[in-house]
Structure 1
Amino acid sequence: MSNLDSAENDQVSIIKSHKLSSKLKWKVDLMVMPFFMAIYFLQFLDKTLINYAAIMGLKKNLKGNEFSNLGTIFYVSYLATEPLAAYLIQKVHVGKFLGLNICCWGVVVACHAVTKTYASLMVIRVLLGIFEASVPACLVIIGGKWWTKPEQSRRTFFWYMQVGLATIVGSLMSFGFQHVHNTTIESWQIMFMFMGILTFVVGVLTFVFLPESPLKCRFLNDEEKEEVMQHIKENRTGFENKTYKFHQVKEMLMEKETWIIFFIIVFSLTDSGGLSTFSSQIMKTFGFSSKISALVQLPLGFVAIISTFLCCYLTSYVGERSIVMACVTVPTILGAALFIGLPNSYKVGKLFGVYLLNFNSAIIAQVYSWNAANTAGYTKRNARNAMTLMAFCIGNLIGPQLFQAKDAPEYVPAKIVLLVFLSLACVLSICLRFVVRHENKRRDRLTEGYTEEEKNKDVLLLDLTDRENLNFRYAY
């Protein structure tokens, strides 16, 4: 601890609340948020295009569980790449790394258009998972360099709500492209080529123009850079450190909160994995045509936007992150119950149940915000984001495998598993609140005799973890 003590003596100052001027706040938002929103929109839409392509003719060359395997293999490669991505994010220029990955997955999306066999599609889905794996972690890390904890929660709403917007746009694109008829190329192939080119262009713009941090931003003068740096000090989460510290990873793995959050994500996102791959085909079981099946998915996007608002934007004002996570799971449980319990003759009720199943898709957005607010130490923050995304992958790869061909069209086993998993996610969210509150009270007792100077010490550049800094308090 001697090195830490020495570093503290060199860096001691008092953290004071520093609000950005309205003009500078808008300048920062307009520089950064359009990139975040465009990137997350494209990431979700590009990986779920296969859902829409299934009813547009892609699936005619597949048999049995091959389509389910395409949904799963994407998340297997995503999962396998995540630890390496977390390491590289700390070692390289995050903004450039992000832009390069976007360009690569844009090329891969376009390549879907020339793959018609099961084997070639499996290869393409693996590559897509590899290049998309680093995106959410990059956004969380960059966001932590620009905004305070409440601001990060509100901004997470704007970029994560793109999941809902992408669902809406994807449905409309599928409907529109199904009216395109060509004797040499199918409509789903045109759709993949169009989105691949668009994604590649956004990747180039990100590589060139995305401001990664205040210190490296070309659009701020020195005075504005200093003002932003003073503003984010109250986070107490550190700024940046290129040295990979394995003790911080070990610390993260030993914490109860890490594993509670891990299983909340796995249990709550299993239904998202199934819906993102099978929603078009589920809609067709209600008797809709391929074109109408695309349109009736529009409400899934609006449900995702509403739940993201509850998870992120309202939380930044009222707090209670864990309670909000539990609450947004309740409508999803109701949706699963309707989906399971209603007979086929009640198509409207079952359709309403499908819509409600998408309500808790925003839990991952709340967890992104949780990680940014509650994790100090640059390596630890990267590792926790990687852990979050690994849980995200596991939930999503389980989802498609629940919908086995032999269970079609009812998929009763899948529906029962979803109901159990969602109920467990709700219970764990409430448990998380009690664990974190207990830790905060423990820290209050330990720091009871601290002076104001000791309680408000500036540790922005020390790269202390939240466990090492007893003045850190967790937002729950």
Structure 2
Amino acid sequence: MASPRTPPSGLEPEIDFDRQVSNEKSSVAAPIYSSTEGPSQEQHFKVVTRGDPLSSSDDVRGEITGYDDSFMRARAALSSTEEKKLLRRIDWHLIPLLAIMYMVKTIDASNVSNARIMDRGTPRNIMIELSVTPDQYNFVTAAYYIPYILAETPSNLLVKYLKPSVWQARIMISWGIVLCCHAAVTNAGGLYTVRAFLGLFEAGLWPGILLQLCYWYRPDEMASRIVLVTLLGNFSAVISGVLSFAFDGVHARGLSGWKWLILTEGIFTIILGIVVYLVLPDFPNTASWMSQEEKDFIQARLPINAPRAAEKDFDWKEFWQTLKDPKLWLFLLCWAFYTIGTTGLQFYQPTVIANLGFTTIARAQLLNIPPAIFACVLTIVFGWVANTGHVPLPAIPLTFMVIIEACYVALYTFPNTGGVYAATVIAGGFSIAWYTMMWPWRVQTTGGATGSAFAIAFANSYGQIGGAVGSQLFNSRFAPRYTTSFGIAMGFIGAAIVMNLVTWSATWRVDVATRRLKRARVAAGKRNEAILDDVDIYVGKRRG
């Protein structure tokens, strides 16, 4: 992979995409201005009509970083209409299956939070049946997250070597088997063991999905695809609530309702894993449902720093460059502070709502549905906003955290039951949608097959340390209102807000360039034109 070209010393590149692009097949000047020195240099964008054979390729040879003539020809091979049709076809082959995979992962990871209040007050309740105290139950989350954190990064580094369809199928089938093993649990030790193995085997699914999207889509196209993938995942709490309500009170063949709930989810996960192995596309160059021209086009339109199937499976140099990049650690701290501040709310939400005393325990499961529906609405609305290219991506999760902080004030002061439930719904919705809005920002700052795999998994794994810590904030001595717990969580959300601002300051150039480029590409597409060298937007910058 070629390295980005370096601008003259003292210049920070900023491309003026507001100038109208000429309809001619020749190069079009778009000035680059230094933020301090003014318009001292110009960078040219090469624009051709879609479908043009690039007979004038001599005019651009050697001026476009990282691409030879064959790639340049591939970039203009399809018309704007044909490109849209091809992307829709790719979406249909990838997104629905990835969305179902993510939804099942979310349901299976959080089922013990719903199981906690199933058959409450009866011998078939999970805590009574296994003789588990509330404080012991807190360690269920820690047992899951510790192996999950340790295995996530190595797992993602194997995705390319073993192919996504093979590795993701292995992940799903193995954790489905672990879910089925929950039916044999008889004590706290057994519960800790199966949850630890669940975390171990689930590790890698979500970062693997994100990495796979990077092989198919440009950074400015990721927001809408991540929204589509996570939408069903955000809806998972609705499905979990309904399933928990349905299995509440069930006792058959010696198994309590909570065991039937998890066993059913395990069987479905195994079946889905087999489907993933048979159906999931791997990389653009291996897709049997695309022509060679379409394969070349999809790969040629990606930025030069994007991961590619042609790259070697592991690059030590890329690994160390990514590890030393400050942005890797800034994003990690964002995730860590945020998950500490919100995991407790997500894990204890069914319990908090049940303790409010609105209705029976079974019906309290249904009161967990509104936050999930609200999260879906937020995901759709702000996903559309992010996809316009007019709003900075970091501003969206920052806004979400400010709102969550305000809701925590209500949960801390506990004004009344209705107010607390409203704050729970709002905070729960925004806390779920935060991840969907955060990931497009993160993936647009990664680069290379090894670098992307490592950076994505590292943030998602070690950033999840809050999953192990956050649940411990909700100690039984703070029940039933958990005001102290929410007070501590407020402090961590405040720290996450500060880290969001610091990380934004370190990545704003990439965000500005990506959004401006998106608007330029949309405008050129309306004229059925292709900007040949728009792949090199990270001029002089090493993404991390």
TM-score range, shorter chain: 0.7 to 0.9
Aligned to 2:308: 239
Following TM superposition, by how much is the alpha carbon of 1:324 offset from its aligned partner in structure 2, in angstroms?
A: 1.0
**Closer, same or farther in 2 for the Cα pair 1:10/1:31, shift >3 Å?**
closer
Q: Which residue type is aligned with residue 197 of structure 2?
A: L
Counterparts of residues 60-209 of structure 1 (less than 5 Å):
60=128, 61=130, 62-182=132-252, 184-209=254-279
Aligned to 2:327: 257
Indicate yes or no: 2:397 matched with 1:325.
yes
Q: Which residue type is aligned with residue 208 of structure 1?
A: L
**Closer, same or farther in 2 for the Cα pair 1:437/1:10, shift >3 Å?**
closer
Indicate yes or no: 2:472 matched with 1:401.
yes
The answer to whether the Cα contact below 8 Å between 1:168 and 1:298 also exists between their aligned partners in 2 is: yes
Following TM superposition, by how much is the alpha carbon of 1:78 offset from its aligned partner in structure 2, in angstroms?
A: 0.3
Query: Following the alignment from structure 2 to structure 1, what is the Cα–Cα distance between the partners of residues 83 and 339?
Result: 39
The answer to whether the Cα contact below 8 Å between 1:163 and 1:304 also exists between their aligned partners in 2 is: no
Residue in structure 2 matching 1:223, options 283, 293, 303: 293
Superposed CA offset, 1:412-461 (max 9, x none): 3321121111122223223322222368899xxxxxxxxxxxx93868xx
Following TM superposition, by how much is the alpha carbon of 1:399 offset from its aligned partner in structure 2, in angstroms?
A: 1.4
Following TM superposition, by how much is the alpha carbon of 1:58 offset from its aligned partner in structure 2, in angstroms?
A: 1.1
The gaps in structure 1 that reach 5 residues or longer are 443-454, 460-465
Superposed CA offset, 1:54-91 (max 9, x none): 11111212114111000111011101112321332243
**Closer, same or farther in 2 for the Cα pair 1:458/1:120, shift >3 Å?**
same
Query: Following the alignment from structure 1 to structure 2, what is the Cα–Cα distance between the partners of residues 71 and 366?
Result: 24
The answer to whether the Cα contact below 8 Å between 1:307 and 1:328 also exists between their aligned partners in 2 is: no
Query: Following the alignment from structure 2 to structure 1, what is the Cα–Cα distance between the partners of residues 506 and 65?
Result: 32
Query: Following the alignment from structure 2 to structure 1, what is the Cα–Cα distance between the partners of residues 246 and 65?
Result: 64
Aligned to 1:336: 408
Superposed CA offset, 1:260-312 (max 9, x none): 21121112222442133221211121014211220110112023223333553
Q: Alignment partner of 2:302: what SS?
A: helix
Report how many residues are paired.
452
Following TM superposition, by how much is the alpha carbon of 1:243 offset from its aligned partner in structure 2, in angstroms?
A: 3.8
Superposed CA offset, 1:382-433 (max 9, x none): 1111211124421211111111122222323321121111122223223322
Q: Alignment partner of 1:21: what SS?
A: helix
TM-score (norm 1): 0.87
Indicate yes or no: 2:118 matched with 1:41.
no
Aligned to 1:451: none
Task: Tell which deviates more after alignment, 12-21 or 34-43.
Answer: 12-21
Query: Following the alignment from structure 1 to structure 2, what is the Cα–Cα distance between the partners of residues 249 and 212?
Result: 22
The answer to whether the Cα contact below 8 Å between 2:305 and 2:448 also exists between their aligned partners in 1 is: no
Following TM superposition, by how much is the alpha carbon of 1:158 offset from its aligned partner in structure 2, in angstroms?
A: 1.1
Query: Following the alignment from structure 1 to structure 2, what is the Cα–Cα distance between the partners of residues 458 and 408?
Result: 54
Indicate yes or no: 2:372 matched with 1:312.
no
Query: Following the alignment from structure 1 to structure 2, what is the Cα–Cα distance between the partners of residues 290 and 441?
Result: 49
Counterparts of residues 409-424 of structure 1 (less than 5 Å):
409-424=480-495
Query: Alignment RMSD, CA only?
Result: 3.0
Structure having the higher Rg = 2
Aligned to 1:382: 453
Task: Tell which deviates more after alignment, 194-203 or 298-307.
Answer: 298-307
Superposed CA offset, 1:180-204 (max 9, x none): 3437321111111111111111100
Q: Alignment partner of 1:212: what SS?
A: coil
Q: Alignment partner of 1:375: what SS?
A: coil
The answer to whether the Cα contact below 8 Å between 2:65 and 2:533 also exists between their aligned partners in 1 is: no
Indicate yes or no: 2:87 matched with 1:25.
yes
Percent identity between the two aligned chains: 18
* Bigger proportion of residues as strand: 2
* Bigger proportion of residues as helix: 1
Superposed CA offset, 1:225-258 (max 9, x none): 223223x324742413234223323322333322
Superposed CA offset, 1:308-344 (max 9, x none): 335533212134011111111122111111100124x
**Closer, same or farther in 2 for the Cα pair 1:311/1:298, shift >3 Å?**
same
Indicate yes or no: 2:533 matched with 1:456.
yes
The answer to whether the Cα contact below 8 Å between 1:214 and 1:228 also exists between their aligned partners in 2 is: yes
**Closer, same or farther in 2 for the Cα pair 1:308/1:388, shift >3 Å?**
farther
Query: Following the alignment from structure 2 to structure 1, what is the Cα–Cα distance between the partners of residues 134 and 412?
Result: 23
Query: Following the alignment from structure 2 to structure 1, what is the Cα–Cα distance between the partners of residues 418 and 251?
Result: 32
Indicate yes or no: 2:505 matched with 1:434.
yes
Task: Tell which deviates more after alignment, 294-303 or 11-20.
Answer: 11-20
Following TM superposition, by how much is the alpha carbon of 1:361 offset from its aligned partner in structure 2, in angstroms?
A: 2.5
Aligned to 1:364: 435
The answer to whether the Cα contact below 8 Å between 1:42 and 1:166 also exists between their aligned partners in 2 is: yes
The gaps in structure 2 that reach 5 residues or longer are 6-61, 119-124, 514-531
